[in-house]
């Protein structure tokens, strides 16, 4: 006669529960050992009683088995995370591609191209956008022109102030060093005066020499004196014409 089927539930009696725990734990460790021997598998079993006591079985060492388990679990998690990341990246790439295509189409439409698929309302919206953009461009252009005009005015005022400062400095220098009332003769006028004086001195010497010779030699020398004097007198106007 076989044993009856036991209902799987918590045993309320503490002594019966402890006896059952000991029997079942022994049977579990025995089955784990048989599995490792029959199938050449690496088996590890960890059991904690309700009082917190540890019981374990491992055919290859608990630390080695746990280290292998952690590595396997980490690689599995990494593989799952990598696969998830790749899926998210591919999805993001598709979204970006669609966005780029929309932007390129919008740019062509703003340039007046590829308008075949647009309706009247869409064309009106596009026209309004172009008008608003044109107004913005004109406004910005006017701002730049006004800024340049203002800079030109500032530079003009700066130059005027510098000119006024230089004019005042010149007036101050003129007050400190007034011009002389006597005009200094030029080099050419000075050279003409010296030339005239030398000619006069030469004529005077010749006249004195002629007088001396006249006193010694008589009438013939008087004629020579007269000729020399005439020559000197004739040479004077030519020299004057030379310096005019």
> Within the chain, which residues score under 70 in pLDDT?
1-4, 178-244
**Which residues are CB-contacts of 25 (< 8 A; sequence separation ≥ 6)?**
47, 55
Q: At what angle do helices 219-243 and 187-217 cross, to 10 degrees?
A: 170
Per DSSP, what are the bridge partners of residue 47? 55
The backbone region for 178, taken as left when phi is positive above 0, alpha when psi lies in -120 to 50, beta otherwise, is beta
Among candidates 76, 44, 66, 67, which has minimal Cα distance to 57? 44
CA–chain centroid gap for 30, Å, is 78
CA–chain centroid gap for 218, Å, is 108
pLDDT tens per residue, range 57-94: 999 889 999 988 888 887 777 777 777 888 888 889 99
The pLDDT, as a whole number, for residue 172 is 86
The pLDDT, as a whole number, for residue 219 is 46
Q: At what angle do helices 120-176 and 62-110 cross, to 10 degrees?
A: 80
Taking residue 206's Cβ as centre, other Cβ atoms within 10 Å add up to: 15
The pLDDT, as a whole number, for residue 229 is 44
Burial 38-73 (b: 16+ CB within 10 A, else e): eeeeebbbeeeeeeeeeeebbbeeeeebeeeeeeee
Residue 205's SS3 state is helix
Alpha carbon of 223 to those of 201, 210, 216, 218, 230: distances in Å?
Answer: 22, 10, 13, 9, 11
The pLDDT, as a whole number, for residue 117 is 74
The pLDDT, as a whole number, for residue 197 is 62
């Amino acid at each position: 006669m076989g044993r009856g089927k036991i209902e799987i539930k918590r045993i309320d009696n503490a002594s019966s529960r402890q006896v059952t725990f000991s029997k079942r734990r022994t049977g579990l460790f025995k089955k784990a050992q048989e599995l490792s021997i029959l199938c050449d598998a690496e088996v590890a079993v960890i059991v904690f009683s309700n009082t917190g006591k540890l019981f374990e079985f491992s055919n290859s060492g608990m630390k080695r088995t746990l280290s292998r388990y952690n590595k396997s679990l980490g690689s599995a998690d990494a593989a799952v995370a990598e696969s998830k990341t790749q899926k998210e990246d591919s999805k993001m790439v598709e979204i970006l591609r669609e966005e780029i295509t929309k932007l390129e189409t919008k740019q062509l439409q703003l340039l007046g191209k590829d308008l075949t698929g647009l309706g009247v309302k869409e064309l009106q919206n596009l026209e309004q956008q172009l008008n608003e953009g044109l107004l913005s461009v004109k406004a910005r252009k006017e701002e730049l022109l006004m800024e340049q005009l203002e800079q030109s005015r500032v530079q003009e005022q700066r130059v005027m102030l510098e000119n006024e400062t230089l004019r005042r400095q010149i007036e101050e220098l003129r007050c400190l060093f007034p011009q002389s009332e006597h005009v200094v003769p030029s080099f050419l006028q000075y050279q003409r005066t010296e030339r005239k004086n030398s000619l006069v001195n030469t004529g005077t010497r010749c006249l004195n020499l002629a007088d001396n010779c006249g006193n010694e030699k008589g009438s013939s020398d008087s004629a020579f004196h007269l000729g020399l004097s005439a020559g000197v007198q004739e040479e004077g106007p030519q020299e004057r014409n030379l310096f005019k």
